[in-house]
Chain A
Amino acid sequence: MHTIKDTWTMTRRSLKHILRSPDTIITVIITPIALLLMFVYVLGGALESQAGSGKYVDFITPGIIIFSIVSGIAYAAFRINTDIQKGIINRFRTMPVAPSSILSGQATSSTLSNLFSSVLVLAAAFAAGFRTSAGLEEWLLFAALLVLFTLATTWMAVFFGLQAKSPEGAGSFSYILMLLIFLSPSFVPTSSMTPVLRGFADNQPFTPIIETMRSLLTNGTAGNKVGLAFAWCAAILVVMYALSIWQYKRK
């Protein structure tokens, strides 16, 4: 089958797009690092007491990584939608190339670039005093969850990119995801929220993902929500992949 070769061809194309657009690089790398530094040095003093006994930078690093991924995947939606508006997608759709190759190219490049920015955010966190007790096993589990989360949200971006009416509107779904980050224990524990918000925050998909990542990095254990975290990511991935392929064929 040509599918793998075609996916690689499309991934290379998309990576060129990313490397040739400086604003993508700035948003995906500079913004999360700035956010990290702001939370640690500006808000950190006020929020630290809320976040329990540990250092605040340890508390928020998983949330900042998730934030950087969510802001990065919006570009995948933008790129897919630009291809639609410019008619390039129609060129691909009239060629003997599998839908999964066309879309996976975007998904793979987006995942690679987001993992790269996650590494940079982690490096910045270490520089700001972040310390971990995670061993190799925890790091591997953390990386696996991070990759799965990135893939799942990237396919979400692909779907919304196919769905949107304009490239500008394509990334707007990511604001909802950002809202979900704030309505999770990313920056403050849910116990400090009002009861209604807390009920929501405790049961939304970002919560087990953030808590598992934090538990892996700070406590050195996976915690009791690791199954739920992986299940949410896998479920989102499967649903969004299926919806994207369906939407691509339907267009």
Chain B
Amino acid sequence: MKPAITVSGLKRAYGKNAILKGVDFQVESGTIFALLGSNGAGKTTTINILTTLIEADAGSATVAGFDVSKSSDKVRQHISLTGQFAAVDDMLSARENLELIGDLRHVKNPAQTAKELLSKFDLTDAADRLASTFSGGMRRRLDIAMSLIGGPQVIFLDEPTTGLDPEARKSMWQTIKMLAQGGTTIFLTTQYLDEADELADIIALLHEGKIVAQGTATELKKLVPGGVIKFTFSTVAQLENAAIILRKDFVVTKADNTTLTVAADGNVKQITELFIRLRDSKLEPASFSQQVPTLDDVFFKLTGKKEEKK
């Protein structure tokens, strides 16, 4: 299957201020791709180039098989954009908003399409109220519903959950997963690591105009060392014994009088081995916990953000 999006050597500057300094990535059809980065990293600029809103200074990009600058009309037939701020028409009702897009996308029956989407997005009760009276979550739902009209192959979501309360955020995640299950390619930008972790098949980390890392969440987490297993013991004697036994093959540190920290990347074989050693020595930990590196750790390591914060 052809990739849904290809980007190579993309550059863009505003005046003397270089925003994108040569960005490369590829998004496979039917996957969720997250472009992760802090404010000002160039996420929106990337999305604006891919959705034909602005032109790149250098490099090339294709979406749904078409060049974004040479065949922008073709690209527009296969995409939809949901921007950072819900782009709904406040002076129209939810139904009218949907019918408007249905008319412009030339769907067969805009009224029917609108009705189905209203029910799918739980907006039927509010269908004939002006969008200006909607809550943030409702506006987002309407916004996404409008983006689905005409069945775009690639959906671009620019920070889809920024400004939403936790509940609305969860429901947006559900919606995004549902879309991806239907075979739509999703390109989303986010500054939330947990969001990328939860949703994306592939995450690309954009920092100061360049992709500094790219891969699945698991792959990215391997970029930072530091997975640990913590055991607590009820007596100091048990802890000392355990330390002696495990030290033969593992890096062990005593965190305090009851806690032992063992460096381990978290694979099952390794953890099993640890427990077998302890059991063979008749040592029974009171509790056990595992700490794996989070995307935060990856993010901080690769962008050096932690240093700045100090």
Contacts and interface: CB of A to CB of B under 8 A. Distances in A.
A90 B106 contact: no
B104 A87 contact: no
Contacts of B51: 94
B77 A96 contact: yes
B276 interface: no
Contact of B87 (A6, A91, A96, A97): A91
A4 B72 CA distance: 21
Most buried by A among B85, B87, B105: B87
Given A9-B100, A9-B103, A91 B81 contact: yes
B52 interface: yes
Given A96-B73, A96-B77, A91 B146 contact: yes
Interface of B: 51-53, 73, 76-77, 79-81, 83-92, 96, 100-101, 103-106, 130, 146
Nearest to B51: A94
Contacts of A5: 103, 106
Interface of A: 2, 5-6, 9-10, 13, 16-17, 20-21, 86-88, 90-97
Nearest to B130: A20
Given A94-B81, A95-B76, A96-B77, A9 B104 contact: yes
A95 B103 CA distance: 12
B290 to A, nearest CB: 43
A90 to B, nearest CB: 6
A17 B90 CA distance: 9
A90 B83 contact: yes
A94 B130 CA distance: 24
A87 B84 contact: yes
9 contacts: A9-B100, A10-B104, A17-B91, A87-B87, A88-B89, A90-B53, A93-B52, A94-B53, A96-B76
A20 B91 contact: yes
Contacts of B86: 87
The 3 closest A-B pairs by CB, nearest first: A87-B87, A9-B103, A94-B81
Given A6-B103, A86-B90, A95-B104, 6 more contacts: A87-B87, A90-B53, A94-B52, A95-B101, A96-B105, A97-B104
Given A9-B100, A90-B81, A2 B87 contact: no
A188 B92 CA distance: 44
Contacts of B105: 95-96
Contacts of B106: 2, 5
Contacts of B103: 5-6, 9
A91 B90 CA distance: 14
Nearest to A9: B103
Contact of A92 (B79, B84, B104): B104
